[in-house]
Amino acid sequence: MNRDIKTKGIIIKKVKFRETSIILDVLTPDLSVISVMAKGIRNKKSKNTGLIELLNELELVLYKNPNSDWYFYRSSHLINAHLFNIEHTTSILMQAPVEVIRQIIVPLDDSFAIYELLETYLNYIKTIKKNEITIFWRFLLKLSKIIGIEFSTNYCIECEQQKLFHAYFPQKHGFICNDCFHPVNDEQVFKLNIDAADLISKLNSIGNYINDISISKSSIKQINRIFLIHLSEHFHKKIYLKSIELL
């Protein structure tokens, strides 16, 4: 029986194994995130060495071991080398969503949508020349919606009105406005500066503002922290973003 499996995937992690092999984590649209053993691929005679790079998108032929969760690499065809000839800041922002995906559970039912979201993001972020991090935040918004932990960036979680946010309320998974904030909740919320609050309210349509806004480092730090808190609360573990610290 032929157990070869054809799929496409984006390499989200690669680790050297023994002298000539590599272990890959690959996000696929139909199998979720899978572990792939590429035996002998680091051998100098291997024709596939250059294909196995982080964020390369490949058409894959794999062999599935029926007695384990492992897949074994047979061959591949390059669709897109996303990190090729990319400048430093864009490279970091291309790796940031992959860092998040590696830390969460990707349900099989959501793998197609998450794959398409990442594929679209990687192609689009290359075209952005200013305030690129806002596109990453929008990616996190869309990812949260796909996995069922969406939170509104337009309406106060308490009064459900469109007002300027005062703080993020982790226990309620949303933002509260100035009118709904009570001092008794001061230790339970993460307060926002005005610029960060304004940015958050624009994220869903950030393409309309991206060339006209300026973003302070304090606002970047606040918004990054909010997304990490939101994801950490849902998955009951600390989610981190070491790549963004390099910006």
pLDDT, greater one: 67 or 199:
199
In this predicted structure, the answer to whether residue 152 has a pLDDT above a threshold of 70 is yes
Does residue 26 contact residue 11 with C-beta atoms inside 8 Å?
yes
**Cα distance between residue 209 and residue 205, in whole Å:** 8
Domains and CATH numbers, the chain: 4-81 (2.40.50.140), 88-246 (1.20.1440.120)
> How much is the pTM?
0.91
Tens of pLDDT along 14-47?
998 888 889 999 999 999 999 998 887 776 666 6
* Structure confidence at residue 4 as a pLDDT band (50, 70, 90): confident
Does residue 201 contact residue 154 with C-beta atoms inside 8 Å?
yes
**Tell me, what's the pLDDT at 13?**
95
Which residue type is seen at 103? Answer: Q
Q: What is the percentage of the chain residues whose pLDDT exceeds 70?
A: 96
Average pLDDT value for residue range 147-158: 91
Q: SS3 string of the chain?
A: CCCEEEEEEEEEEEEEECCCEEEEEEEECCCEEEEEEECCCCCCCCCCHHHCCCCEEEEEEEEECCCCCCEEEEEEEEEEECCCCCCHHHHHHHHHHHHHHHHCCCCHHHHHHHHHHHHHHHHHHCCCCCCCHHHHHHHHHHHHHHCCCCCCCCCCCCCCCCCCEEEEEHHHCEEEECCCCCHHHHHHCEECCHHHHHHHHHHHHHHHCCCCCCCCHHHHHHHHHHHHHHHHHHHCCCCCCCHHHHC
**Cα distance between residue 142 and residue 149, in whole Å:** 10
**Cα distance between residue 137 and residue 104, in whole Å:** 17
What residue has token string 């001061």? 186
* Structure confidence at residue 191 as a pLDDT band (50, 70, 90): very high
In this predicted structure, the answer to whether residue 242 has a pLDDT above a threshold of 90 is no
**Tell me, what's the pLDDT at 140?**
96
**Cα distance between residue 162 and residue 155, in whole Å:** 5
**Cα distance between residue 36 and residue 91, in whole Å:** 24
Average pLDDT value for residue range 126-139: 95
**Cα distance between residue 240 and residue 143, in whole Å:** 16
**Tell me, what's the pLDDT at 224?**
94
**Tell me, what's the pLDDT at 49?**
67
Tens of pLDDT along 46-63?
666 678 899 999 999 999
What residue has token string 């071991």? 65
Does residue 119 contact residue 205 with C-beta atoms inside 8 Å?
no
The total of other beta-carbon atoms located within 10 Å of residue 16's CB is 10
